[in-house]
Amino acid sequence: MDDQLREAMGAEQLCGQWRERMAQPTLADAEAFIRTCIIQLEQNAPQVSPPVIGMTEKKRSEVWATSSGGSVSFRSNSTDHWELQLCTEGETVYSEGAKQHLIKAGNIVLIPPGVNCSILRTPNTSAWHHYWCVFTIQPHWKLWCSLLQHVDGLTVLQLDRYDAKRFSQLIQGYIDYTYPKDPQWCSRAIYNRIESLLVELQAAQPDKPTPLDGRVQSALGFIQQRFRDNWGISDLASHSCLSPGRLSVLFKESLGASPMSLRDTLRMNEACSLLLNSQKSISQIGEETGYKDQMHFSRRFSEIIGQSPRKYRSNK
């Protein structure tokens, strides 16, 4: 067994706990041991790096169907990404602490980072099919997608038959799409599709949750329009009629990022585009995106993108 897998599973400890019962195991013992291993792995194994889109089909098997309420999956509170799931067949119970949600065909579940839940099959379920997306949200998504503003627990939505079929076909199309081989462009392509899916989902909801605080919206609009300009947090706070400290706290709570880090992200998105699609020098691109000092621009670019502007351009 691979050492990393053995460590994540806690294999030595599990074997010690189960050694006596597994000398002459019953079917129930074997099932319980396998479930314990799976839960241990899902709790401790390295998390999947988002974004990912996929589909899971769990069909009736001896291990899965021996007893009702058998565990299908477990999501740890150490996860640092969002997850969207669309159930297309079967019924499962999502247990979120003391809360339980019966999920069936047509239900969409949004799970924020840091929220743990276990997923259990219902007694009459012989197969469970669902689509899923794993992703980290982009800060500006929260401005228009109020579904992403609920970060304390699960959001469960019910789609009508037409929308459920449309969304499943949409996600299946994303799965079947031939993505670029380059990891960065593959990631961007998946994020574009997840954003499109969220737009469709938001538009399909008749009852919208409470929108972002108006002062945060004002600050976000200011950043999006003037991210190339050199302004400070005090200028942004004055525009939003807040103190710098209060704005920073409110902005971080609402969007999960600081105002200045969001400005840098927007600058780097434009810098990447200019590096790939223009013949402008690195110093010109830095100045156009708000960095008068080329060294400062190159340093920030490397911190955010993971490589220097020159290497980024040459690799593409």
Lowest-pLDDT range, 172-176, 212-216, 310-314? 212-216
Q: Is residue 190 part of a domain?
A: yes
Q: Is residue 209 part of a domain?
A: no
Of the pLDDT bands very low, low, confident and very high (cuts 50, 70, 90), residue 1 is very low
Q: Is residue 208 part of a domain?
A: no
pLDDT (tens digit, 9 = 90+) per residue, 145-203? 888 878 888 999 989 889 999 999 999 999 999 998 888 788 889 989 999 999 888 88
Q: Is residue 52 part of a domain?
A: yes
82 contacts 153 by C-beta, under 8 angstroms: no
How does strand 99-103 pair with strand 92-96?
A: antiparallel
- In single-letter form, the type of residue at position 304 comes to I
Of the pLDDT bands very low, low, confident and very high (cuts 50, 70, 90), residue 253 is confident
Q: Is residue 53 part of a domain?
A: yes
Same structural domain, 161 and 289: no
Q: What is the pLDDT of residue 114?
A: 85
pLDDT for 144 beyond 90: no
Structure tokens at 177: 């799409």
pLDDT (tens digit, 9 = 90+) per residue, 58-104? 765 434 433 334 445 667 777 788 999 999 998 888 888 777 788 88
For the chain, give the percent of residues with pLDDT over 70. Answer: 76
Instruction: Give the count of domains, the chain.
Output: 3
Same structural domain, 238 and 303: yes
Same structural domain, 8 and 116: no
pLDDT for 287 beyond 90: yes
For residues 209-223, give the mean pLDDT.
75
Same structural domain, 117 and 193: yes
- In single-letter form, the type of residue at position 249 comes to V
**For residue 51, is the peptide bond before it cis, meaning its omega torsion is within 30 degrees of 0?**
yes
CATH number of the domain encompassing residue 51: 2.60.120.280
Same structural domain, 220 and 302: yes
Same structural domain, 34 and 154: no
Q: Which of 184, 203, 222 is the last residue of a domain?
A: 203
Of the pLDDT bands very low, low, confident and very high (cuts 50, 70, 90), residue 8 is very low
- Euclidean distance between CA atoms 236 and 219, whole angstroms: 6
- Euclidean distance between CA atoms 100 and 84, whole angstroms: 17
Of the pLDDT bands very low, low, confident and very high (cuts 50, 70, 90), residue 284 is very high
Q: What is the pLDDT of residue 5?
A: 43
Q: What is the pLDDT of residue 65?
A: 38
Same structural domain, 141 and 256: no
Q: For the chain, what's the residue count? A: 316
Mean pLDDT of the chain: 79
Same structural domain, 24 and 75: no
- Euclidean distance between CA atoms 20 and 99, whole angstroms: 35
Same structural domain, 29 and 54: no
305 contacts 282 by C-beta, under 8 angstroms: no
The percent helix, strand, coil of the chain (3-state, each to 5) is 50, 15, 30
Same structural domain, 218 and 299: yes
Closest alpha carbon to 130 in 106, 150, 147: 106
Q: What is the pLDDT of residue 81?
A: 86
Q: Which of 46, 65, 80 is the last residue of a domain?
A: 46
Q: What is the pLDDT of residue 12?
A: 63
Spell out the residues 6+ positions from residue 170 whose beta carbon is closer than 8 angstroms to its own.
Answer: 197, 200
Parent domain of 282: 214-315
Q: Is residue 98 part of a domain?
A: yes
Q: What is the pLDDT of residue 197?
A: 92
Q: What is the pLDDT of residue 213?
A: 77
Same structural domain, 277 and 292: yes
pLDDT (tens digit, 9 = 90+) per residue, 19-32? 666 677 777 677 66
Q: What is the pLDDT of residue 20?
A: 66
Q: How far is CA 306 from CA 188, 228, 268, 300, 301, in A?
A: 15, 21, 11, 9, 7
Cβ burial 211-222 (10 Å sphere, 16+ → b, else e): ebbebbbbbbeb
Q: What is the pLDDT of residue 31?
A: 67
Local structure of residue 146 (DSSP, 8 states) = G
Q: Which of 203, 222, 250 is the last residue of a domain?
A: 203
CATH number of the domain encompassing residue 244: 1.10.10.60
How does strand 92-96 pair with strand 82-89?
A: unpaired
Same structural domain, 22 and 107: no
